[in-house]
Amino acid sequence: MKRVVILISGRGSNMEALIAARDAGKLPVAIVAVISNRPDARGLETAARAGIASEALDHKTFAGRAAFDAALAECIDRYAPDLVVLAGFMRILGEDFVRHYEGRLLNIHPSLLPAFPGLHTHQRALEEGVRVHGCTVHFVTPALDHGPIILQAAVPVLDTDSEETLAARVLAQEHVIYPQAVRWFAEGRLQLLDGRVRVASAGDGTAVLIAPGGD
Ligand code: GRF
């Protein structure tokens, strides 16, 4: 069974979705550790309650980005993971770190990349007046919120939306597509070809989910 380490910084609802999928028998992986760069991350308690090894590595206690990245990699590698999953991990990781985990480092981003990389994606989507918004699971490359796309889910943007209602609609889809993408990885169905992802036996368009309309 593939070994998975999850990195979080806060709430950890995507982590919870992965744990729930595992518990439901829908995600055949061993979640071997949850690591946070913030000692007060709410998700750490959730992980501990689920009986998963949880660790905090406070980035503020390191001299700089490179020192933190090196310590983080050392901490992760003690769990010998096949896959590292960024689930609301709010630190930019340096090129050495990313290269070390090339092909086994996933991220979820709350927009339909390549639109809206970076922060405040829902607010920016509303400001731009886009009619469709969503989320993306991708392999991580050294460029921020960039990398071969595995799976996306789209949701409608309603005239009545606030940042909060739109974020909630997107988050519900994050909780669907992240376990699905990790499952594909675990099943060995993801192939990287020329910087693009092929999902074995999903050439029929199942890799794009369109969420049902809002209220
Ligand atoms: C999610 O919207 C994720 O896409 C983004 O940060 C948020 C984290 O939420 N990167 P949670 O900690 O998983 O609840």
pLDDT in tens, 10-33: 999 999 999 999 999 999 999 999
First-to-last CA distance in the chain? 40
Q: How far is the CA of 119 from the centre of ligand 1 (A)?
A: 11
Residue 54 and residue 34 in contact, taking contact as beta carbons nearer than 8 Å: yes
- C-alpha to C-alpha distance for 132 and 153, rounded to whole angstroms: 10
Q: How far is the CA of 41 from the centre of ligand 1 (A)?
A: 12
Q: ∠ CA(8), CA(13), CA(16), 5° rounding?
A: 90
Convert the pLDDT of each residue in 82-113 to its tens digit: 999 999 999 999 999 999 999 999 999 999 99
**Which residue reads 């595992």 in tokens?**
22
What average pLDDT does the structure give for the chain?
A: 94
Residues 6+ apart with CB under 8 A from 1: 28, 29, 30, 186
Q: Is 179 in the pocket of ligand 1 (CB under 6 A)?
A: no
Q: Is pLDDT of 214 > 60?
A: no
Convert the pLDDT of each residue in 56-68 to its tens digit: 999 999 999 999 9
pLDDT of residue 87: 98
Marked catalytic residue, from 59, 100, 109, 175 = 109
Convert the pLDDT of each residue in 150-205 to its tens digit: 999 999 999 999 999 999 999 999 999 999 999 999 999 999 999 999 998 755 44
pLDDT of residue 203: 52
pLDDT of residue 215: 39
User: Which of 56, 52, 31, 53 is CA-nearest to residue 41?
Assistant: 56
- C-alpha to C-alpha distance for 122 and 178, rounded to whole angstroms: 19
Q: Is pLDDT of 211 > 70?
A: no
Convert the pLDDT of each residue in 115-153 to its tens digit: 999 999 999 999 999 999 999 999 999 998 999 999 999
Beta-strand runs (E) in 28-131: 29-36, 54-56, 83-86, 105-109
pLDDT of residue 186: 96
pLDDT of residue 11: 97
For this structure, is 122 an active site residue?
Answer: no
Q: How far is the CA of 63 from the centre of ligand 1 (A)?
A: 27
Q: Is 109 in the pocket of ligand 1 (CB under 6 A)?
A: yes
Residues 6+ apart with CB under 8 A from 79: 3, 5, 32, 33, 53
Phi, psi (rounded to 5 degrees) for 195: 75, 10
Q: Is 134 in the pocket of ligand 1 (CB under 6 A)?
A: no
- C-alpha to C-alpha distance for 78 and 94, rounded to whole angstroms: 20
- Overall average pLDDT of the 2-8 stretch: 98
Q: Is pLDDT of 212 > 60?
A: no
Q: Is 121 in the pocket of ligand 1 (CB under 6 A)?
A: no
CA torsion, points 76, 78, 80, 86, in degrees to nearest 10? -10
